[in-house]
Amino acid sequence: MLQLIFTQGKAQFGDAVKSFWFYDGDFCPGCMARPIGAIKFKGKDAVAINAFIYRARGVLIGYFLCETCAKFIFKEAQKNPYKQTPLHTDIEKNLTAAYHKHLSSLDA
């Protein structure tokens, strides 16, 4: 799935997207408290897969959200489509830190 998002990102944003990485932490990058797992969406089990471009490195970072954070974003998107929430900012900050930690572990 992330490969498809990466291909779309390359087509849409060109050289701004150079690589991709998937956050595989145990906790949701939104709240950093709840575990990631299946969520209920329209009465069915689903996962909330998402991605953002970490522009400083040109990396598409993929991630899953917990049910609480995913539902919050879905609800806010219905009220204000295409508008970023403070939760998005927290997610990007947490994922950027996780990506830097990943990079430093490669140097160890």
Tell me which of 1 and 54 has the higher pLDDT.
54
Rounded Cα distance between 90 and 30, Å, is 6
Distances, alpha carbon 86 to alpha carbons 42, 50, 72, in Å? 25, 16, 11
- Give residue 3's pLDDT: 86
Q: Which among 20, 34, 99, 19 has a CA at the least distance from the CA of 71?
A: 34
Q: For the chain, first and last CA: distance in Å?
A: 30
* Domain boundaries of the chain, sorted by first residue: 2-103
- Give residue 41's pLDDT: 83
Rounded Cα distance between 59 and 18, Å, is 6
Rounded Cα distance between 55 and 94, Å, is 15
pLDDT per position as a tens digit, 19-69? 999 999 999 999 999 999 888 888 899 888 999 999 999 999 999 999 999
